[in-house]
């Protein structure tokens, strides 16, 4: 069997673990990590939870640490086109060979009390790779929640909770307070917490948890903030520092808040004695890229890819489209998963488009296209169903004028399939290497 075929077979085996669904708990991942030598103990970490912005914050921190001379791992999910995107070293996806070696290291362990989930398996693979690569740092994003997430055996130097919204209620709870308690589970004894949470009920839970763990607590808007100077430039008023004329490479005003979280973490690392320089912070923030989040891949017509996978993200995308594309005819290519508040999400997005093409990503969690189309038609939009994401995007591009805009949104699965189509058409996949 060729390496390419073996790689494909290993991925199929891992994807087959999805049939076990989501199992929150730490016993299985603890057993796996013990079996492969506790790789999480061989590098320093920043651990990131939250409802939105995890990836943007994680990629920026990874970029900055790499520029500061550290060998840096980055673990995020989901991937958009290739599995390897989930596990990066110095902002480059790991090789197929590294994936195979990690798969074999985990797969050779004797069976435990239950078979691991896909996320447990891939988390163990990522941590094993970072240890094998002798990473100095790893920036690790939770999959869901925090307290019982498979990543939560880490003892990070800093924990980050970006923000909190009502999501995954069947697993995390039915209130902001309950969900905050789950996400606050990543707070560790004596380790600082940086958060962008705003709701009083969320903050009350996070403050209480931090106090119980004797963990220093730093909240955006209270201990640090980003003050916009224009669409691109902001001043950072920080915990100890005031850094002027900062700029993030990511589009959208909300990215200034994400950048403030990044800068607060950098301040803490500097305070802990790690050599992180302001020049490298500036460069890393400016050069940071994160695919599928307000990513413009073409200008004629303008094609915007944005996951906008939950209500808050849809609201932010709607604000961006209102501000940045008001002078363009907008075609929306959209597909949403069945556990999302699709009517409310469409309320934010439909006012900014003239035509809607409804699609259905290749996942069992996809909402039937007919449901989305019905809402779009009720709103008086010119609506078409083209189930295949690539075909939907192709139709939009064929029928758009040079000055028009196309927005692909609603799910990272949709964005991933759109990127795969664009790659086949010769528009390259996004690269984070700098």
> Residue 56 is part of a domain; what is its CATH number?
3.40.1190.10
Q: Are residues 138 and 210 in the same domain?
A: yes
Q: Are residues 197 and 307 in the same domain?
A: no
Q: Are residues 78 and 158 in the same domain?
A: yes
Q: Is residue 139 part of a domain?
A: yes
Q: Are residues 405 and 383 in the same domain?
A: yes
At residue 72, φ and ψ (nearest 5 deg) are -125, 130
- CATH, residue 355: 3.90.190.20
Q: Is residue 321 part of a domain?
A: yes
Q: Above 80 in pLDDT, residue 433?
A: no
What pLDDT, on a 0 to 100 scale, did the predictor assign at position 114?
Answer: 84
Give the predicted TM-score (pTM) of the model.
0.92
Helices (H) and strands (E) in the chain, counts: 15, 17
What pLDDT, on a 0 to 100 scale, did the predictor assign at position 232?
Answer: 83
The rounded mean pLDDT for the chain is 92
Q: Is residue 430 part of a domain?
A: no
Q: Is residue 432 part of a domain?
A: no
The domain in which residue 276 lies consists of 3-287
The 10s digit of each residue's pLDDT in 65-123 is 999 999 999 999 989 999 999 999 999 999 999 999 999 999 999 887 788 999 999 99
Q: Are residues 274 and 216 in the same domain?
A: yes
Q: Above 60 in pLDDT, residue 168?
A: no
Q: Are residues 129 and 166 in the same domain?
A: yes
Q: Are residues 145 and 283 in the same domain?
A: yes
Q: Greater confidence, 300 or 62? A: 62
Q: Which helix (H) or strand (E) element contains residue 434?
A: none
Q: Greater confidence, 6 or 386? A: 386
CB contact set of 29 (below 8 Å; sequence gap of 6+): 116, 120, 123, 124, 150, 153
**Last residue in a domain, options 233, 259, 287:** 287
What pLDDT, on a 0 to 100 scale, did the predictor assign at position 165?
Answer: 78
Q: Are residues 261 and 331 in the same domain?
A: no
Q: Is residue 94 part of a domain?
A: yes
**Last residue in a domain, options 264, 287, 310:** 287
What pLDDT, on a 0 to 100 scale, did the predictor assign at position 145?
Answer: 78
Q: Can you list the alpha helix ranges (DSSP code H) found in 156-233?
A: 169-172, 176-183, 200-212
Instruction: Of 27-31, 126-130, 248-252, 348-352, give the lowest mean pLDDT range.
Output: 248-252
Q: Is residue 431 part of a domain?
A: no
Q: Above 90 in pLDDT, residue 175?
A: no
Q: Is residue 124 part of a domain?
A: yes
Q: Are residues 238 and 382 in the same domain?
A: no
Q: Are 359 and 387 in contact (CB under 8 A)?
A: yes
Q: Are residues 260 and 402 in the same domain?
A: no
Q: Is residue 15 part of a domain?
A: yes
Q: Are residues 304 and 283 in the same domain?
A: no
Q: Above 90 in pLDDT, residue 395?
A: yes
- Tally of structural domains, the chain: 2
Q: Above 60 in pLDDT, residue 370?
A: yes
The confidence band for 167, taking pLDDT boundaries of 50, 70 and 90, is low
The burial class, CB within 10 Å (0-12 / 13-18 / 19+), for 404 is buried
**Last residue in a domain, options 287, 309, 334:** 287
Q: Are residues 78 and 131 in the same domain?
A: yes
Q: Are 403 and 299 in contact (CB under 8 A)?
A: no
């Amino acid at each position: 069997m060729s390496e390419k075929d073996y790689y494909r077979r290993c991925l199929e085996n891992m994807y087959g673990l999805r049939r076990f669904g989501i199992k929150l708990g730490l016993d299985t991942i603890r057993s796996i990590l013990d079996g492969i030598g506790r790789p999480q103990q061989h590098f320093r970490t920043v651990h990131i939870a939250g409802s939105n912005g995890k990836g943007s914050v994680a990629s920026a921190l990874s970029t900055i640490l790499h520029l500061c001379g550290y060998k840096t791992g980055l673990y995020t999910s989901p991937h958009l086109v290739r599995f390897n995107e989930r596990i990066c070293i110095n902002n480059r996806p790991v090789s197929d060979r590294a994936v195979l070696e990690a798969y074999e290291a985990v797969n050779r362990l004797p069976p435990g009390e239950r078979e691991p989930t896909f996320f447990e398996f891939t988390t163990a693979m990522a941590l094993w790779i970072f240890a094998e690569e002798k990473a100095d740092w790893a920036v690790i994003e939770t999959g869901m929640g925090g307290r019982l997430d498979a990543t939560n055996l880490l003892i990070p130097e800093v924990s980050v909770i970006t923000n909190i919204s009502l999501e995954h209620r069947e697993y995390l709870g039915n209130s902001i307070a309950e969900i905050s308690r789950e996400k606050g589970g990543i707070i560790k004894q004596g380790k600082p917490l940086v958060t962008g949470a705003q709701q009083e009920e969320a903050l009350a839970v996070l403050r209480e948890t931090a106090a119980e763990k004797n963990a220093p607590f730093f909240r955006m808007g209270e201990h640090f903030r980003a003050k916009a100077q224009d669409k691109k430039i902001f001043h950072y008023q920080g915990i100890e520092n005031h850094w002027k004329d900062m700029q993030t490479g990511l589009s959208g005003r909300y990215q200034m808040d994400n950048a403030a979280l990044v800068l607060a973490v950098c301040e803490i690392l500097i305070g802990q004695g790690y050599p992180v320089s302001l020049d490298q912070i500036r460069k890393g923030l400016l050069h940071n890229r994160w695919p599928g989040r307000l990513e413009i891949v073409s200008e004629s017509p303008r094609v915007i890819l944005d996951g906008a996978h939950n209500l808050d993200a849809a609201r932010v995308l709607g604000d961006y489209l209102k501000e940045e594309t008001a002078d363009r005819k907008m075609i929306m290519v959209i597909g949403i998963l069945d556990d999302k508040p699709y009517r409310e999400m469409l309320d934010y997005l439909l006012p900014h488009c003239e035509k809607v093409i409804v699609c259905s990503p290749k996942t069992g969690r996809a909402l039937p296209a007919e449901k989305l189309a019905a809402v779009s038609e009720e709103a008086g939009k010119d609506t078409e169903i083209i189930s295949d994401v690539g075909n939907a995007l192709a139709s939009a591009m064929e029928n758009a004028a040079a000055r028009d805009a196309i927005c692909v949104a609603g799910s990272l699965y949709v964005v991933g399939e759109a990127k795969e189509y664009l790659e086949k058409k010769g528009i390259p996949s996004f690269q984070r290497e700098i």
